[in-house]
Amino acid sequence: MASRLLWENIIPGCDPLDDGNPICFANGIFTGTPVPVGGKFGLASKSPLTGFVGDSLSGSWFSVALKRAGWDGVVLHNSCDSWTQLFIDDDRVQFNDATYLLGKGTFETEEAIRNKLGDDQIRSCTIGACGENLVRYANVTNDGRQAGRTGHGMIWGKKKLKAVSVRGTHGVKVFDPKTLNQLAYDISKSAQGKDTEKYRVYGTSTGLLNTNKLGVLPTRNFQEGVFEDAELVSGEYLDRHHKVKVIACAQCPIACEQMSLVKTGPFAGAMTGIEYESLFANSSNLGVSDIRAAIKLITIADHDGMDSVTMGVTIGWAMECFEKGVLKKEDFASEEHPEGLELHFGNGEAAVAVAEMIRDQVGIGKLLAQGTRIASETLDKERGTESYKWAVHTKGLESAGYDARSLKTFALGLATGTRGGCHNRSAAYDPDMKGETNRLTVDETRGRVASESEEYAAVYDTLPLCKFIRRSFTGKADRSGAWPAIAKLINATTGWNYDYDDVDLIGTRACTIKKAFNIREGWTEKDDDLPWRWKHDPFSKGPGAGTVVTDEELAYMKKLYYEAKGWTEEGLLPKELLIKLGMPDVAEEVGV
Ligand code: SF4
């Protein structure tokens, strides 16, 4: 929905920071109902990191408030002349002065708005200092959750929009409350069983030891896939030494977020929710074995509003630049560190100082605030270096925490993904890591597997339902287990008559509108590429040692993927296909 609103409301071809790039919110179909893990919203704009679709999901009470205020979606056009807080008070809309909020962190801003308006039920999406300072990968934050990855916070900062707040006081009507309550009750009960235990007890960080065992844990800026100190930065270690509380998104009976506190050392007092993706990027990927430094780094990102994955991967790139002599100690000088910093892998204190420089756009922080693609291109142009070879991004989005050199279906999913290097949208790491494919080789099934896993994920992301509930319907995570149960939920909520095929089509249509958006914004087949490192620079150790994804393998897999989608050889969308999918207006504009 948010991507569709973006398609309809953007001025095609505009710069992501121009007024023509709208901010599009869309609520989920289950928001405000008893359906578990359905309290999420989508946020879409053209991404300043990739220049393509920037679509994010966030689980939150903000979306419930918006629904209770009577809004399924909101589109914000243009920009403000001065710093503004938008307040949607049921069906009244106010544009308030936000000067008093400037400089405040994301959580602080939410609290300050509640205090000012005198109502602790008001929910807000906010930007922190990173959005105000135009860090290219700044986030929008709500209730401690992030609409992250693609730089929404920079767009909000450019528009001088500090916060969008909502007070919703109405009820939410559904078609068949009795049936929906029973279905929701059964799923909620099942969602507290064995299938979600690992998320409830350890959170997603419990995956870190497994990725390390498989040799795909990004280590020292994706140079290796095995980290010798993985135990010290694992979800299990976090649980024993730092976890203070477990919290949940709105409408969630699982509660996977592990609030973790640093109790000793220079970062004592740092506290935030820790996920696998944030953790890999700020521990193994930086060669950092002291999990306290990782918690501090993620706290800075969350409190000041920037994407912790892109921040960690960008600092990892800077560390490699330092180790290889492309960046020198004095390049990291600032008022606080006049002699500069020794940004070696493993130096957590220096990494924290650099994160603060990025947030404040101080010294080299200005360059690093652009993400690895722009930073490496700028540096290489200025110094005649080749640092692009260790900039690990696809389409400008820094890669997630599964090294794709030895996960070949996932590599295809990342290369072709409309959002860039995102594990949430591709999800093809799953068949590779579970052994459903031979992850070290390429065969004729990969196009189909990558396409199916992407469209499977898109069903969950479009409703939206958190994917962690996928085994709670019938115990089977596949389509045959979940789609009939999801159809029942949709029908009881809306009075529609959905079946298996209708649910399946949701994923295809969602992927298609995003692809169409990218084509209209100038996508060509060359954009479906992988980081240089994954194509030319194999691991020296671990189960994936010696493996890369060659250009020939990637070209072969892309051909299979375009075929599986029913696209042209160049990856374009045939008119007939778009019409068949019920998108004749899209066919008119980009169909071939
Ligand atoms: S399982 Fe975790 S991510 Fe999913 S809705 Fe619950 S708290 Fe949020």
pLDDT tens track for 96-122 = 999 999 999 999 999 999 999 999 999
Q: Which tokens belong to 584?
A: 């004749």
390 lines ligand 1 (CB under 6 A): no
- CA-nearest of 457, 423, 494, 464 to 41 is 464
174 lines ligand 1 (CB under 6 A): no
Q: What is the mean pLDDT of residues 387-413?
A: 97
- CA-nearest of 495, 403, 55, 429 to 217 is 403
pLDDT confidence band for 473 (50 / 70 / 90)? confident
Pairing status of strand 84-89 against strand 161-167: parallel
Distance in angstroms (rounded) separating the CA atoms of residues 24 and 18: 15
Question: Which atom of ligand 1 lies at the shortest distance from residue 250's CA?
Answer: 5
pLDDT, residue 481, reads: 84
Under a CB-based contact definition with an 8 Å cutoff, are residues 139 and 298 in contact?
A: no
Distance in angstroms (rounded) separating the CA atoms of residues 224 and 515: 32
In this structure, the chain runs to a length of 592
pLDDT confidence band for 506 (50 / 70 / 90)? very high
Residue 401 has pLDDT above 80, yes or no: yes
Under a CB-based contact definition with an 8 Å cutoff, are residues 147 and 57 in contact?
A: yes
pLDDT, residue 111, reads: 97
Place of tokens 């298609």: 512
254 lines ligand 1 (CB under 6 A): yes
Q: What is the mean pLDDT of residues 184-199?
A: 92
247 lines ligand 1 (CB under 6 A): no
Q: What is the pLDDT of residues 310-335, one digit of tens each?
A: 999 999 999 999 999 999 999 999 99
Under a CB-based contact definition with an 8 Å cutoff, are residues 65 and 164 in contact?
A: no
Q: What is the pLDDT of residues 529-548, one digit of tens each?
A: 999 999 999 999 999 999 99
Q: What is the mean pLDDT of residues 428-457?
A: 95
Under a CB-based contact definition with an 8 Å cutoff, are residues 166 and 124 in contact?
A: yes
Q: Which of 254, 275, 276 to mutate to test the pocket of ligand 1 (most atoms within 8 A of CB)?
A: 254
Distance in angstroms (rounded) separating the CA atoms of residues 577 and 587: 8
Distance in angstroms (rounded) separating the CA atoms of residues 384 and 389: 13
Q: What percent of the chain has pLDDT over 90?
A: 95
The b/e string for 269-278 (b: 16+ C-beta within 10 A; e otherwise) is: ebbbbbbbbb
Question: Which atom of ligand 1 lies at the shortest distance from residue 466's CA?
Answer: 4
What's the gap in Å between 37 CA and the centre of ligand 1? 7
pLDDT confidence band for 421 (50 / 70 / 90)? confident
The answer for 432, left when phi > 0, alpha when psi is -120 to 50, beta otherwise, is alpha
250 lines ligand 1 (CB under 6 A): no
pLDDT, residue 394, reads: 97
pLDDT, residue 476, reads: 78
The answer for 399, left when phi > 0, alpha when psi is -120 to 50, beta otherwise, is beta
What's the gap in Å between 314 CA and the centre of ligand 1? 27
Q: What is the mean pLDDT of residues 209-231?
A: 97
Q: Exposed (0-12), middle (13-18) or buried (19+): which is 111, by Cβ within 10 Å?
A: middle
pLDDT, residue 302, reads: 97
Residue 499 has pLDDT above 90, yes or no: yes
What's the gap in Å between 267 CA and the centre of ligand 1? 27
pLDDT, residue 195, reads: 86
pLDDT, residue 475, reads: 76
249 lines ligand 1 (CB under 6 A): yes
Distance in angstroms (rounded) separating the CA atoms of residues 149 and 152: 8
Residue 272 has pLDDT above 80, yes or no: yes
Question: Which atom of ligand 1 lies at the shortest distance from residue 255's CA?
Answer: 7
Q: Which residues pair with 243 in a beta bridge?
A: 260
Place of tokens 């052994």: 435
pLDDT confidence band for 515 (50 / 70 / 90)? very high
Domains and CATH numbers, the chain: 2-167 (3.60.9.10), 204-391 (1.10.569.10), 404-590 (1.10.599.10)
- CA-nearest of 40, 15, 13 to 27 is 40
Q: Which tokens belong to 453?
A: 């896993």
Query: How far lies 457's CA from each of 44, 45, 399, 460, in Å?
Result: 17, 20, 18, 5
Q: Where are the beta strands (DSSP E) in 183-320?
A: 243-247, 257-261, 271-274
Q: What is the pLDDT of residues 230-259, one digit of tens each?
A: 999 999 999 999 999 999 999 999 999 999
Q: What percent of the chain has pLDDT over 70?
A: 100
Residue 478 has pLDDT above 90, yes or no: no
What's the gap in Å between 311 CA and the centre of ligand 1? 23
What's the gap in Å between 177 CA and the centre of ligand 1? 24
Distance in angstroms (rounded) separating the CA atoms of residues 271 and 238: 12
Tell me what the pLDDT averaged over the chain comes to: 96
The neighbour count for residue 119, using CB atoms within 10 Å, is 12
Entry pTM: 0.97
pLDDT confidence band for 134 (50 / 70 / 90)? very high
Under a CB-based contact definition with an 8 Å cutoff, are residues 65 and 32 in contact?
A: no
Question: Which atom of ligand 1 lies at the shortest distance from residue 467's CA?
Answer: 4
586 lines ligand 1 (CB under 6 A): no
